[in-house]
A and B are shown apart, each in its own frame.
Chain A
Amino acid sequence: MTQETGLKNRLRRPVLWAGLLLILLLTVSSIYGAFIGAQAAQRFFNSIPLSVYWLAFAVLLVVGITIFRRLLHVRGLFLIHLGCVLVLAGGILGSQAGLTLQNAFFKTDFIHSGEMVITEGEIEKIVQTEYYGQKELPFEIKLVDFKIEYYPFGSLIIQPQDRPSIRIPAKPGSGYKLPDDLGSVEIVSRFENFKMILDGARRITFDDPNGKPNLALELQLKFPDGTEKTKYVFERFPGHESPDDKLQFFYRRTIRDFISDLEVIKDGKVVAKKSIEVNKPLHFGGYLFYQQGYDNIAGRYTILRVAGDNGLGIVYLGYILLCAGVFWHLWLRHILKDRIIED
């Protein structure tokens, strides 16, 4: 036996033990992290002791792969453990600490993550970061247009005084019988921009094609005693009821999507264009731009989340190897075992 294999043999037991211990430690830390909430957990898992932990885990996996023959030669086991190394390595590279080190080492000024607020028609390059104040991107982003899309109709919510609320689609022409002694409600019409004028004692309502939207529903309430009442419910001004009203009404639309039409401008030229939505970010120049929020009063500006893509490719490669490894090792090789001779 050479000295090298002798060392490997002696290392196996402690490495396996250390591996089991690190797995247990991470299980317990994850549960602890779940109790303290996402923000505190993020700080906890990026703290110095945990940074040491992540490095140790990655190193131990690499040592494991080199000293256990099977981890190197059984292809499923190799892919699984290498996949884990890559995910850890990518995570470390993309972390705030990893990036600070890379910036210092390579004299770069890469931004880890932050937020951008851009008004319609404007151009912006400032990113507001969490720890390092304002930073500049090496290119500019223009918000060409911002749109909010809603599901058609929306919902009428009826809140009886001491019973659960009722939610019905706000579709003009539909009627609904209320439970117990509350009568019924009919949705007469729906206004994009509700306007009303008084003609003597008569009220005339209409949809004004000009001006800002003012969504409203006209309801016809029929009470059990035979009386009727016309009622207007506004999206933006809920709750005009008097305290003795048995029913309260709300009109809500559900957002389907928010969309920002973006242009990337470099040296005065448009170099990329994309309409980003909640699950569709823009990827440019080492950064990802996500639709994070918007001006919920006038819909004039958008809030983008900017995240560097450092290490992301390595993490994804790790995911692919890990997945291929577990499916191969635990499923496929058994299914195909008659045809494939392994080990």
Chain B
Amino acid sequence: MAIKYTFQGILIYATMAAYLLAFVATLLRQRKIGKFTYLVGFIIGCASVAFRWFDVRHVPMQNLFEIFLLFGALVYPISIFCNRVLRVGSVVADMLIGAVVLFPAGFIFNAEPQQLPPALQSWLFAPHVFVYILSYVFMAKAAVQAVSHLANRQPHDNLLSPEEATYRMVCAGFPLLTLGLILGSVWGQLAWGDWWGWDPKELWSLASWLVYVGYFHFRYMFGRRFPRFSSVWAIIGIFVIIITLLWVNLSRLFPGLHTYAM
């Protein structure tokens, strides 16, 4: 863990600070200030991604540092879209999610620019990672809703009930998760000659996909009788995603093809 004394670092910390401020302000019922600082956080977050793009001269989605940087900028538009269009709340939680996802970029991951190794030079690279990031944000929101459901929270305004909101977020994220898995597989086929290589990272992403397939079927079969179990399923989903995203890379427990994703 190290503090980044660079311009990039300052941008990241400023985004985090704005998101946290927005979070605290909203909790203290200063809604206007909250909304405003959330927007400011988003603008600095975009500047941070743009700076990185300019700095490394390729789409900044090569390593975990860049991926988390993007996460930090994407949280805001997704959060607003879900609130206004999909009637799924938890914007306050999104502010916190924004700050939390930037933490690894700010303090843990190495920001040194890298040149693209041959296996990463594919047109599939950016879409594969991008749809995964999007789907993970939806699935994180699904888990937040699932927790509110278990905590018996009632939504205000005309938002969906937490159980329905969980389902809606999984419905939003699942096609992207599926596309991410398929693009990864096609890329594997082009790069290594196998559309499925049984590599640990692939298996974890299959497991996270299957957890949501399980969620759909469980909810279809028992959703009325045991709605709380469906929500537990959605929470397990985000845990498996976190493991897929981080643990495989960080732990070095599993030998595999994706080690360059560090």
Contact = CB atoms under 8 A, between A and B. Distances in A.
A20 B220 CA distance: 11
B118 A256 contact: yes
B158 to A, nearest CB: 17
Interface in A20-42: 20, 23-24, 26-27, 30-31, 33-35, 37-39, 41-42
A257 B254 CA distance: 27
B99 to A, nearest CB: 28
Interface in A260-278: 277-278
Nearest to B86: A334
Contacts of B118: 255-258, 277-279
B195 A315 contact: yes
A16 B175 contact: no
A279 B119 contact: yes
B214 A23 contact: yes
Nearest to B217: A20
A39 B220 CA distance: 36
Given A30-B203, A91-B196, A330-B172, A38 B257 contact: yes
Contact of B198 (A42, A151, A316): A42
A307 B194 contact: yes
Interface string B168-188: 000110110011001001110
Nearest to B197: A38
Contacts of A73: none
Interface stretch (A183-191, A215-223, A321-329): A321-329
B81 interface: no
A78 interface: no
Interface stretch (B9-17, B21-29, B148-156, B204-212): B204-212
A24 B178 contact: no
Interface in A104-118: 113
Contacts of B49: none
Given A24-B214, A30-B204, A277-B118, A307 B193 contact: yes
Interface string B198-238: 11110110110011011001101100000000000000000
Interface string B111-153: 0100111110110000000000000000000000000000000
B213 to A, nearest CB: 5
Interface string B98-120: 00000000000000100111110
Nearest to A152: B115
Given A23-B217, A256-B115, A281-B190, A34 B178 contact: no
Given A27-B211, A30-B207, A38 B255 contact: yes
Given A327-B175, A330-B171, A20 B254 contact: no
B178 A326 contact: yes
Contacts of B187: 279
Task: Give the secondary structure class of A's interface.
Answer: helix
A319 B117 CA distance: 27
A53 to B, nearest CB: 13
A181 B121 CA distance: 40
A167 B112 CA distance: 9
A30 B210 contact: yes
A22 B20 CA distance: 43
B119 to A, nearest CB: 6
B36 interface: no
B248 A255 contact: no
Interface in B226-262: 240, 248, 253-257
B53 interface: no
A20 B218 contact: yes
Nearest to B121: A279
B189 interface: yes
Contacts of A331: 171-172, 175
Interface string A298-321: 000000010100001001100100
B54 interface: no
Nearest to B221: A16
Contact of B193 (A30, A39, A41, A305): A305
B193 A330 contact: no
Nearest to A322: B178
B115 A23 contact: no
A290 B207 contact: no
Given A17-B221, A23-B217, A319-B182, 12 more contacts: A20-B217, A31-B203, A34-B254, A38-B200, A42-B198, A255-B118, A257-B118, A279-B121, A292-B193, A307-B194, A322-B178, A330-B172
22 contacts: A16-B221, A26-B206, A27-B207, A41-B198, A41-B200, A42-B198, A113-B193, A254-B117, A256-B115, A257-B118, A277-B118, A278-B118, A278-B119, A279-B187, A281-B193, A290-B193, A305-B193, A322-B178, A326-B174, A327-B175, A330-B174, A331-B172
